[in-house]
Amino acid sequence: MNIVLCTVSNADEGKQIAQTIVKEGLCACVNQVPSITSYYIYEGKFCEDNEELLIIKSLKTTFDKLSQRITELHSYDVPEIVSINVDDVDEKYLKWVKDSVDDK
C-alpha cells in the first residue's frame, strides 16, 4: 500500500481529480484537506499559495498510472505527486484497498 500526497489549486480541481481517480480504480479513497498554505521557490521566485491537499490511498503497483492520470488532470505544470510507502496497515483496511484498486 502507499499514500500519495498531491496539492491542488482549489476545491473544484481537487474534487474533480479525486472523483476521477476513484471512479477509474486508481485508488481506493481520497481525503481532501481544505485550506493549507504552501511556501516554495518556483522558477527562481518565492511563492506563497493557498492550496488544498489530496491524501490518496492506493497500491504501489498503480503509482505510475495514478501519477500519469493526476498529471493529465492537474492545472500545474509540475504537480506535487509524492508517494509514501506504507509498511504497517490494518489487515482489513489493506484488503479493502486491494479490493478497490484495479492494479491490472
* All residues at 6 or more sequence positions from 66 whose CB lies less than 8 Å from its CB, including other chains: 4, 21, 26, 27, 56, 58, 81
pLDDT of residue 104: 66
Q: Is the pLDDT of residue 72 over 80?
A: yes
pLDDT in tens, 8-37: 999 999 999 999 999 999 999 999 999 999
CB-based burial, 34-67: b 16+ in 10 Å, e otherwise:
eeeeeeeeeeeeeeeeebbbbebbbbeebbebbb
pLDDT in tens, 77-103: 999 999 999 999 999 999 999 999 987
pLDDT of residue 102: 84
- The predicted model scores a pTM of 0.94
pLDDT of residue 35: 95
| C-alpha neighbours within 13 Å on the C-beta side of residue 37 | 3
CB-CB contact of 52 with 31 (8 Å): no
- Domains observed in the chain: 2-100 (3.30.70.120)
pLDDT of residue 52: 98
